[in-house]
Amino acid sequence: MTIADRRQDHMCRSGRMAPVGKKSGPVLRSDPRMPLTMPSAPFAQSPLPMGLDPDIGAHLEDMSVVLKSSLHRQTAARHWQLINRIIAYAASAEQHISEQQQRIRELEALSSTDELTGLANRRGLIEFANRLLATARRHQEQGVLCYLDLNDFKKINDAFGHETGDRALCLLAETIRKNLRSSDFVARIGGDEFIFILTHTNTENGRLRAAIIEREITAADLAARDRKIRLSVSIGVTGYDGKTTLDDLLRRADEDMYHNKHGRKKPAGQD
């Protein structure tokens, strides 16, 4: 090898020139100090490291896309879980409120209902009558209020017991109820006293209806200790036209009932 050949070979080895027959240019060498780790920023926003194999870079870019897609799915799944929990909570709250409202309605009904007969009690009467009289005032309507009292109720209890007395009260309640229309009203206001209201009628028709109820009660069968008990009632009748109050109606009907009772009713007991 000549001196010129040795100089050319030295320059080729040192990288200052290309071998004969090849294009000259800088020789790229991979830096062994360069880490082959994933950059912190997305690959779409950062260039590939110098000297990184293009196949490896493409693979890492695919991994970045998959990772971002997975993160999006996880975020969407958490959002749906939160929405489902909110919907479930709202449904539970709505159910609880509905149950509470139903319970309130039941308690209100119990507070205005007579436990023994299932009729309205005094409170139920007051609520119904106030609405009725307000409507009567607006529309100039008329009707009849009747005050019914069971004669000698104490004697029935003393002679036959309170269970028989309760049966007598229930018989009265059922007899009155079946003789009323759907627009009419009946209440037990205490002890052996009942109030029934006939709407859209006059006093004459009210007295006729009261007489029918009285006859049916007298003819009813009530027995205790192998004895037949004859029941009798007294009924007072008064009309309303919306210009009077409930207290006035009760007072007038009570006075009429007392006059009907006085001196003409047989004591209740054995026939």
**3-state SS record for 103-131:** HHHHHHHHHCECCCCCCECHHHHHHHHHH
- Clarify whether 9 is annotated catalytic: no
Kindly name the residue from 114, 149, 184, 192 that is annotated as catalytic: 192
CB atoms within 10 A of CB 89: 10
Distances (CA, A) of 134 to 57, 129, 242, 248: 88, 8, 7, 15
User: What amino acid positions are annotated as catalytic residues?
Assistant: 192
